Amino acid sequence: MIAILSSGCTLKEKTDVVRLLEILGHRVSVSPFGRETIVGVVGTSAPELEARLAAMPGVRETRRDVPPYALVSREHHPETTVVRAAGVEIGGDEVVVIAGPCSVESEAQILRIARGVAACGARLLRGGAFKPRTSPYGFQGLGEEALDLLERAREETGLGIVTEVVSGEDVPRVARTADVLQVGARNMQNFRLLEACGRQGKPVLLKRSHMGTIDELLLAAEYVVTHGNPRVILCERGIRTFETATRNTLDVSAVPVLKERTHLPVIVDPSHAAGRREWVPALAAAAVAAGADGSIVEVHDRPDEALSDGRQSLTLQGFEAMMRRLQRVAAAVDRRLGVSFAPSGGPTCPTASPRPT
């Protein structure tokens, strides 16, 4: 159940509502909602309590039939939310492309790739420092050292940083470097991690899990928002189905469904869905055509040498070709990319630097 407090409600009226609920033994969340305030009562929708709240000064409306994700639902917040990160608006007119390697591997590697994707119109740089790997023998990431390298890449290219956080205790350190904290598919329902991301102020890129329903993704987002952080970007990255030809099955239909159910921005990760670089541009194009606000893609200038996810990483040349294609698709759905390629020519990615001999 929720109580919506009017924009003119006084601090005393707000405190009285919260105090009453606490005295009655209910857990309460208080979140700004435009100019109003939503007081969420966790775990009850008793009619007597609703009537009592509705009669209190400052309460504009009470609702028992709320979707369980009241704060992120479009029903309660019809205007689309634009999340700003490092000067980039996600959820506005622009289709935002986030690109970079699966993992940060060395200073030279991240700088080469960051320069390359920046030249082709990427608006934010991705790069894993803490990697959640299926196998304990897989490369686990360079950890804090990688965060320092990402900062170097930001200084050099101006691109804001998107990097994953895998545990609640790492949140303060990762948030010092990151412009956007990624919560990976395997952690979509790590509720303590979601709460920790809610208690800090940087935007959160929340990925749908392999087996998570759309409603479960929205409830995970609600965790972040109820803990104080409304800056959440949702990401469809492929779900597990009976199909084995692709690494996962990109659920393109999640894009219009999410757009209808929530006011939060929605992006797509075609790399972890496809599992092979050849299929990534088609999935990215489909996502933009379906109304996604952007895409997060893995790019490596030497994918055969990548320490993780090389098979699905676009080369820099492949990334440039994909961006040219996305520019046309974006225009067809009245959106735009943050880069403008002339029909032939325009910016060109630097070619992969020669390997040292």
Cα–Cα distance measured from residue 345 to residue 323, given in angstroms and rounded to the nearest whole number: 13
Residue 227 binding partner per list Mn ion, ligand PEP, none, with a CB distance cut-off of 5 to 8 Å that depends on partner kind: none
Instruction: Please enumerate in sequence order all residues whose Cβ is within 8 A of that of 70, keeping only pairs 6 or more positions apart, or say none.
Output: 2, 38, 40, 63, 76, 222
Q: What is the closest distance, in whole angstroms, from the C-beta atom of residue 206 to ligand PEP in the complex?
A: 10
Among 164, 170, 222, 309, binds Mn ion (CB under 5 A): 309
Closest CA to 159 of 86, 233, 265: 86
105 binds Mn ion (CB under 5 A): no
Q: What is the closest distance, in whole angstroms, from the C-beta atom of residue 207 to ligand PEP in the complex?
A: 4
Residue 116 binding partner per list ligand PEP, Mn ion, none, with a CB distance cut-off of 5 to 8 Å that depends on partner kind: none
Residue closer to Mn ion, measured from CB, 102 or 150? 102
| Number of residues this chain uses to bind ligand PEP (CB under 6 A) | 10
Angle of CA points 238, 244, 250, to nearest 5° = 20
Q: Phi and psi (nearest 5°) for 38?
A: -105, 125
Closest CA to 158 of 84, 86, 90: 86
Q: What is the closest distance, in whole angstroms, from the C-beta atom of residue 183 to ligand PEP in the complex?
A: 8
Q: What is the closest distance, in whole angstroms, from the C-beta atom of residue 188 to ligand PEP in the complex?
A: 8
Q: In angstroms, how far apart are the furthest CA atoms of the chain? A: 78
272 binds ligand PEP (CB under 6 A): yes
Cα–Cα distance measured from residue 252 to residue 267, given in angstroms and rounded to the nearest whole number: 11
Residue 52 binding partner per list ligand PEP, Mn ion, none, with a CB distance cut-off of 5 to 8 Å that depends on partner kind: none
Chain position whose Cβ is nearest to ligand PEP: 184
Q: Is the dihedral of CA 177, 181, 185, 190 positive or negative?
A: positive
338 binds ligand PEP (CB under 6 A): no
Applying CB under 5 A, the span of 56-64, 239-247, 302-310, 339-347 interacting with Mn ion comes to 302-310
Applying CB under 6 A, the span of 32-40, 183-191, 192-200, 218-226 interacting with ligand PEP comes to 183-191
237 binds ligand PEP (CB under 6 A): yes
* Residue 84 DSSP code: E
Yes or no: say if 302 and 352 are a contact pair by the CB < 8 Å rule: yes
Among 102, 150, 159, 224, binds ligand PEP (CB under 6 A): 102
Q: What is the closest distance, in whole angstroms, from the C-beta atom of residue 108 to ligand PEP in the complex?
A: 20
In the chain, count of helices (H) and strands (E)?
11, 15
Among 102, 196, 285, 306, binds Mn ion (CB under 5 A): 102
Q: In DSSP terms, which residues pair with 226 in a beta bridge?
A: none
Cα–Cα distance measured from residue 178 to residue 171, given in angstroms and rounded to the nearest whole number: 10
Q: What is the closest distance, in whole angstroms, from the C-beta atom of residue 186 to ligand PEP in the complex?
A: 6
Residue ranges that bind Mn ion, judged by CB under 5 A: 102, 309
